[in-house]
């Protein structure tokens, strides 16, 4: 943390001076660490048309947190992680077992989860106010201890991407083709789904379930507009995620708006700019 403080202090912002606004510095570090995670995972979420799925995961995370709080756990976050994993498995299972359209299956699960979350959190006529922070999220509430968790998540996702990405890419083209190349399709998909579920759930209290999906989808969607191969796709996606994270956070400090929303607005802007320069033809 000390080293980070010194690095930050060279920035020309008043909050960056030594002894000032500790929460801003921590938030900045958090954004720098978590943005690449969304940038990487987002590429395959978008390519596999799972945007709605990751949105539903946000809802399930909320239900998980409500259940955790009901059980009186000190940190309801871990209950949420377990619930999200079960939720993701549930969707995958129903999807494979029935011929229902994926959209419908996810819609059913998603609304059930959010209703369950609201119901549990208001048991006995309690006020919902305690839970609003999960709707909007607060990046500025990140503690130095949580930075450690984010760093571990980043390392895990990079390791996952180094070893599993190729397989995911082949599966996204054709599952049978992937199978003929010796890829264990079910397991690779399960690991990826679980990773997205973990990341979305862990970040829900910082980013908020209303905007979390934009974090996953927008940088990759923008990168897709202008990329001609996987390397460009990932490079732009991570860069866009980083840029909107940093610019949104710092911007929100001066304009005084919720940082999560500011970050999403910056990435939306990038999306529309890239849209006008998108790939056409070959």
Partner 1 sequence: MMEQRGMHRNAASRNTGCGLCCTRIENFGVTIGGSVILHDVNMHIHCNELTALIGPNGAGKSTLLKAILGQVEHTGELKYLDAKGLHTGRPAIGYVPQSINTDYGSPLSVADLFVSCNSLAPSWLLAPKGVLAKAAEALAKVQAEHLLKRRLCTLSGGELQRVLLALALQPLPDLLLLDEPVAGVDEKGMMLFFDIVGALRQDYDLSIILVSHDLKMLAKHADTVVLLNKTVIACGTPKAVFSGKSFRSTFLPVQTEDKTLKR
- Name the site residues for partner 1 (rule: CB under 8 A): 40, 43, 47, 49, 161-163, 165-167, 169-170, 172-174, 176-177, 179-182, 223-225, 227-234, 279, 281-282
| Encoded tokens for 71 | 């059980």
| Encoded tokens for 178 | 């992937």
Name the minimum Å distance from CB 142 to partner 1. Answer: 28
Would you say 70 or 230 has its CB closer to partner 1?
230
Would you say 129 or 228 has its CB closer to partner 1?
228
Dist. CA 127–CA 222, nearest whole Å? 39
Name the minimum Å distance from CB 260 to partner 1. Answer: 27
Name the minimum Å distance from CB 180 to partner 1. Answer: 4
- The answer for residues whose C-beta is within 8 angstroms of residue 174's C-beta and 6 or more apart is none
Name the minimum Å distance from CB 178 to partner 1. Answer: 9
Contact status, residue 182 vs residue 235, Cβ threshold 8 Å: no
Name the minimum Å distance from CB 163 to partner 1. Answer: 8
Name the minimum Å distance from CB 4 to partner 1. Answer: 27
Name the minimum Å distance from CB 242 to partner 1. Answer: 16
Would you say 72 or 282 has its CB closer to partner 1?
282
Would you say 149 or 175 has its CB closer to partner 1?
175
Would you say 186 or 254 has its CB closer to partner 1?
186
Contact status, residue 158 vs residue 165, Cβ threshold 8 Å: no
Long-range contact pairs involving 75-79 (C-beta distance under 8 Å, separation at least 24)? 77/201, 77/202, 77/205
- The answer for residues whose C-beta is within 8 angstroms of residue 204's C-beta and 6 or more apart is 58, 61, 62, 65, 80, 134, 137, 212
State how far Cα 276 lies from the chain centre: 26
Would you say 118 or 156 has its CB closer to partner 1?
156
Dist. CA 108–CA 213, nearest whole Å? 18
The total of other beta-carbon atoms located within 10 Å of residue 145's CB is: 7
Would you say 82 or 158 has its CB closer to partner 1?
158
- The answer for residues whose C-beta is within 8 angstroms of residue 183's C-beta and 6 or more apart is 167, 170, 171
């Amino acid at each position: 943390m000390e080293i980070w403080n010194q690095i930050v202090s060279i920035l020309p912002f008043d909050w960056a001076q030594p002894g000032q606004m500790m929460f801003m510095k921590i938030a900045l570090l958090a954004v720098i660490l978590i943005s690449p995670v969304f940038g990487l995972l987002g590429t395959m979420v978008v390519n596999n048309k799972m945007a709605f799925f990751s949105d539903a995961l946000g809802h399930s995370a909320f239900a998980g947190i409500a259940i955790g709080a009901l059980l009186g756990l000190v940190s309801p976050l871990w209950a949420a992680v377990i619930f999200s994993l079960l939720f993701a498995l549930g969707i995958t299972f129903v999807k494979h077992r029935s011929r229902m359209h994926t959209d419908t299956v996810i819609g059913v699960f998603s609304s059930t989860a959010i209703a369950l979350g609201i119901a549990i959190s208001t048991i006995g006529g309690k006020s919902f106010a305690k839970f609003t922070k999960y709707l909007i999220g607060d990046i500025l509430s990140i503690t130095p201890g949580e930075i450690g968790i984010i760093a571990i998540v980043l390392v895990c996702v990079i390791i996952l991407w180094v070893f599993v990405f190729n397989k995911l890419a082949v599966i996204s083209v054709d599952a049978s083709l992937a199978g003929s190349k010796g890829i264990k399709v079910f397991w690779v998909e399960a690991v990826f789904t679980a990773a997205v579920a973990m990341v979305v759930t862990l970040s829900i209290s910082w980013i908020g379930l209303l905007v979390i999906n934009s974090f996953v989808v927008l940088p990759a969607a923008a990168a897709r507009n202008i990329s001609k191969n996987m390397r460009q796709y990932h490079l732009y996606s991570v860069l866009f995620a980083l840029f909107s994270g940093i610019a949104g956070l710092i911007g929100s400090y001066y304009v005084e708006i919720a940082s999560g929303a500011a970050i999403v607005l910056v990435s939306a802007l990038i999306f529309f700019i890239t849209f006008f320069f998108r790939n056409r033809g070959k």
